[in-house]
């Protein structure tokens, strides 16, 4: 069974930093493209960023609103993908989900349960 | 205002067939595959359809997807109460260089 478990969410002040983790199991993590998607409470979904598998080049891409502030990385030995979030803004408040796959090839085929990040003074 | 608008709501009665649409542009739906996601209340999204009309293992054949030009549709036949959820379309956007999600449609089973 594929499982994804996010952790690291919480309350942080504007301008602060937070690191989210997503641990995967039940699949070959090193071959998976890993994504971060966020959802403001009661609102829609927004893609945040993605890291391809190392065999596919390990390329990292970001959505415009987070580029330069957020960093996606992976540790295939720990089957974990990370989202380092710096210079957080109030509008970054959201549930953050990790998801596997390519939107065009497989769709985002597995999702974690999400972790809530609240940016507030 | 979403890059890929969807009607905010849809409804149907048990057993009925309902269709949810999303309207994109040449940079997203018009030139890339569409996927659809179901989000039940209080849970994470779940993949329903990928590559326009492919169902992952375990998704009932009551769910089907189609695409025409810059629009896509999700059809649900034999509507059930457990289908009450939010539904999102998504596609890669060549102009934005990333995936975009539709604004979401809340389906109510009357």
Q: Could you read off the pLDDT of B62-87 as tens digits, one per residue?
A: 999 999 999 999 999 999 999 999 99
The continuous run of DSSP H or E covering B87 comes out as strand B85-93
- Does B102 contact A108 at a Cβ distance shorter than 8 Å? no
Among A49, A99, A103, A115, the strongest candidate for a mutation testing the B interface, having the largest count of B CBs within 10 A, is A103
pLDDT at residue B45 greater than cutoff 80: yes
Helices (H) and strands (E) in chain A, counts: 0, 11
A58: number of Cβ within 10 Å = 13
Contact B50/A109, CB-based, under 8 Å? yes
Q: In which element (H, E) is residue B10 found? A: strand B9-12
Enumerate residues 6 to 35 of chain A having a beta carbon within 8 A of any beta carbon in chain B: 35
pLDDT of residue B57: 95
A10: confidence class by pLDDT, cuts 50, 70, 90 = very high
Confidence of residue B47 (pLDDT cuts 50, 70, 90): very high
How far is CA B22 from its chain centroid?
7
Alpha carbons A80 and B10: distance in angstroms, whole number: 38
Kindly report the average pLDDT of chain B as a whole number.
96
In this prediction, residues A32-55 reach a mean pLDDT of 95
Tokens 């109510």 belong to residue: B108
Q: Is the pLDDT of residue B1 over 80?
A: no
Kindly state the percentage of chain B with pLDDT values over 90. Answer: 97
Q: Rounded to the nearest 5°, which phi and psi values hold at A54? A: -60, -40
């Amino acid at each position: 069974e594929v499982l994804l478990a996010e952790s690291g969410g919480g309350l942080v002040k504007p301008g602060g930093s937070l690191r989210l983790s997503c641990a995967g199991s039940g699949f070959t993590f090193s071959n998976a493209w890993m994504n971060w998607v966020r959802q403001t409470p009661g609102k829609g979904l927004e893609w945040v960023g993605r890291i391809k598998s190392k065999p596919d080049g390990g390329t990292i891409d970001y959505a415009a609103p987070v580029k330069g502030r957020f960093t996606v990385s992976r540790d295939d030995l720990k089957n974990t993908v990370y989202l380092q979030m710096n210079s957080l803004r109030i509008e970054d408040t959201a549930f953050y989900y990790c998801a596997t796959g390519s939107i065009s090839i497989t769709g985002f085929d597995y999702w974690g349960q999400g972790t809530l990040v609240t940016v507030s003074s | 205002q979403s890059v890929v608008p969807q009607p905010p709501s849809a409804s149907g009665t048990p057993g009925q067939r309902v269709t949810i649409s999303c309207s994109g542009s040449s940079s997203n739906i018009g030139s890339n595959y569409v996927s659809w996601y179901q989000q039940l209340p209080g849970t994470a999204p779940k993949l329903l359809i990928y590559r326009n009309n492919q169902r992952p293992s375990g998704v009932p054949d009551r769910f089907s997807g189609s695409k025409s030009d810059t629009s896509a549709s999700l059809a649900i036949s034999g509507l059930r109460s457990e289908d009450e959820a939010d539904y999102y379309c998504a596609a890669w956007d060549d102009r934005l260089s990333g995936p975009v999600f539709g604004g979401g449609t809340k389906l109510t089973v009357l």
